[in-house]
Structure 1
Amino acid sequence: MRKPELAAAVADQTGLSKDKASEIVNAFIDQVSAAAARGEDVSLIGFGTFNIRARDARSGRNPQTGATIQIPASKTVGFKAGKALKDALR
């Protein structure tokens, strides 16, 4: 499911227009992104938790040349599914 399909599903379920549902989906994404940029976790009970994970610097290998390269430390966003979401998959 892509963002337009999600907005259409939200519109169908709530009775909102597709444009209004799209605004809501965009606002949700903006708020999760802003919280991640501040280093905050976002917990949605039953759905899951978005959290910031740190990756240490490490050495890697260029597959074309075989040369060893240094990969710098970085941050990434992780997601851990909640119980209700896991149960829905069964």
Structure 2
Amino acid sequence: MTGNEIIERIATAQGKSKAETKLIVDAVFTEIAEAAASGHEVSINGFGKFATKRTAERQGLNPATKEPITIQAATKIGFKPAKALKDKVNG
């Protein structure tokens, strides 16, 4: 499902215009992204939790040349689904 499909389904279900719904959906995702970028956990009841995790710099191998390389430290974002979402997905 694409972002536009989500917007269209919400707009239809709520009797709102697609333009109005797009503003709201975009605002929700912007807030989630900004909170994650600043290191905050975002927990949505019944849906799940978005959290960032810092990975350390480490050594790896270039798969083409087998030469050792340094993989830079990074911040990754993860999602842990809530039990309600897991139950819905698993029937």
Give the TM interval when normalised to the shorter protein: over 0.9
Tell me what 1:40 maps to: 40
Structure 1 position 73, deviation (Å): 1.0
CA distance in 2, matches of 1:49, 1:16: 28
Tell me what 1:30 maps to: 30
Name the stretch that deviates more: 55-64 or 73-82: 55-64
CA distance in 1, matches of 2:35, 2:22: 20
Helix, strand or coil for the counterpart of 1:39?
A: coil
TM-score by length of 2: 0.94
Task: Tell me the matched-pair count.
Answer: 90
CA distance in 1, matches of 2:58, 2:9: 42
Tell me what 2:56 maps to: 56
Tell me what 2:2 maps to: 2
Moved over 6 A (4+): none
AA matched with 2:47: F
TM-score by length of 1: 0.94
Task: Please list every run of 5 or more consecutive structure 2 residues that lacks an aligned counterpart in the other structure.
Answer: none
| Percent of residue pairs identical | 39
Tell me how large the CA RMSD over aligned residues is: 0.8
Task: Please list every run of 5 or more consecutive structure 1 residues that lacks an aligned counterpart in the other structure.
Answer: none
